[in-house]
């Protein structure tokens, strides 16, 4: 199975979306403890549990954890995953190359359009994350109106609802054939370069 890869870090409004590592555990524990995040993610864990979780995620070829970083502080989190190997794959029709994503943005970085910008960036890079990816799927909680809005503004369409083990989810998807134009990126190693403007 091909490993999901993130080749260039997405730069948006002084934030850098980059691969997450176990070193981000404390920042993610703080992010996930924010009430506005915890109510949807249910992952307000301690640092040790986040450390263990991130190690498992980074070793899993079907998962790609990303941290939103501003000046060394974690302000958001994204998980990209293969639908075929996720619980979602048991509930919807999918191809072997469909990708899914989850997103959380912390309180200090909300209200800037970052959520929509991140979603657009991931959609744009989906075929680089997994060669041949035809579609990016999301399944936010049916009550999470702000998430629905962010995905809609990024070009996703709703295609129903589904009962998952932990929630009733709104299914949303966008084709990689209609992905938006490039934004600014930096190399994964940290050296910033301009790919294009939003």
What is the pLDDT confidence band of residue 111, given thresholds at 50, 70 and 90? confident
Report the predicted TM-score, pTM, of the whole model to 2 decimal places.
0.88
Angstrom CA distances, 73 to 12, 28, 65, 82, stand at: 15, 10, 16, 28
Per-residue pLDDT averaged across 69-76, rounded?
A: 95
Reply yes or no on whether the pLDDT at 185 is more than 80.
Answer: no
Per-residue pLDDT averaged across 60-77, rounded?
A: 96
Burial of 141 (0-12, 13-18, 19+ CB in 10 A): middle
What is the pLDDT confidence band of residue 161, given thresholds at 50, 70 and 90? very high
Per-residue pLDDT averaged across 184-190, rounded?
A: 44
What pLDDT is recorded for position 3? 93
Strands 73-82 and 63-70: antiparallel
What is the pLDDT confidence band of residue 72, given thresholds at 50, 70 and 90? very high
Percent of the chain with pLDDT over 70: 89
Per-residue pLDDT averaged across 115-142, rounded?
A: 96
Distance (Å, whole) CA 65 – CA 40? 17
Average pLDDT score, the chain: 89
In the chain the domains, ranked by start, together with CATH numbers, are 9-182 (3.40.630.30)
What angle, 0 to 180 degrees and rounded to 10, lies between the N-to-C axes of helices 25-33 and 47-59? Answer: 120
pLDDT higher at 190 or 56: 56
SS3 35: helix
- The secondary structure element, H or E, covering residue 152 is helix 145-153
């Amino acid at each position: 199975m091909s490993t999901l890869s993130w080749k260039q870090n997405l730069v948006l409004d002084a934030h850098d979306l980059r691969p997450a590592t176990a070193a981000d555990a404390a920042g993610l524990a703080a992010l996930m403890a924010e009430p506005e995040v915890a109510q949807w993610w249910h992952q307000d864990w301690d640092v040790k549990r986040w450390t263990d979780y991130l190690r498992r995620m980074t070793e899993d070829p079907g998962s790609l954890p990303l941290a939103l970083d501003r000046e060394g502080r974690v302000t958001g989190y994204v998980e990209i995953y293969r639908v075929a190997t996720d619980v979602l794959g048991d509930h919807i029709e999918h191809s072997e190359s469909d990708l899914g994503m989850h997103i959380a943005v912390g309180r200090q970085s909300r209200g800037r359009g970052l959520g929509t910008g991140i979603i657009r960036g991931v959609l744009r890079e989906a075929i680089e994350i997994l060669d041949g990816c035809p579609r990016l799927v999301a399944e936010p909680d049916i009550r999470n109106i702000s998430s629905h809005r962010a995905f809609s503004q990024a070009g996703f369409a709703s295609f129903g609802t589904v009962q998952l083990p932990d929630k009733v989810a709104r299914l949303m998807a966008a084709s990689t054939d209609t992905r938006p134009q490039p934004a600014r990126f930096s190399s994964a190693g940290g050296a910033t370069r301009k790919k294009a403007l939003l």
